[in-house]
Amino acid sequence: MSHPEIKEPSAGHPITIEPTKGRVQVRVNGELIADTTAALELREATLPAVQYIPMGDVAQDRLTRTDTSSYCPFKGEASYYSVTSSAGDTVDDVIWTYEQPYPAVAAIAGHVAFYPNKADISVSAS
């Protein structure tokens, strides 16, 4: 699949990635799916900040990779996962990840993010 050219962050479209100060917990349908003190906060232009959580701090036994994908000219190709709770309820495409992010955002490799309208994401002071 061909995509438009790769875009670099700039003054007109800044992207910053910094360690999150505190603990990030993510619940899907009330069930704890991720818990970490090693999250990265990505801020992109005027968009809300996104918490990227190390895949190792996510309950991987609850994840199912889907066929969904998307493309960001600043970050690359994203893959998606659904989450199934212990009760068997599934929330589709709640997680995305850039498995091979572009160099400007290489720090998010091995991390996942959750859609805030599909998961409860909390950040608390450590």
Domain boundaries, given as residue ranges, for the chain: 15-124
Contact 68, 80 (CB under 8 A): yes
Q: What is the mean pLDDT of each run of 10 residues along the chain (126 residues)?
A: 78 95 97 98 96 98 97 96 94 98 97 98 89
How confident is the model at residue 61, as a pLDDT?
96
Backbone angles phi, psi at 124, to 5 degrees: -125, 150
> In the CATH scheme, what is the code of domain 15-124?
2.170.150.40
CA-to-CA dists, residue 124 to 19, 43, 67, 100, 120, angstroms: 13, 18, 33, 29, 13
How confident is the model at residue 3, as a pLDDT?
62
pTM score of the predicted model? 0.94
SS3 for 31-54 is EEEEEECCCEEEEECCCCCEEEEE
How confident is the model at residue 4, as a pLDDT?
72
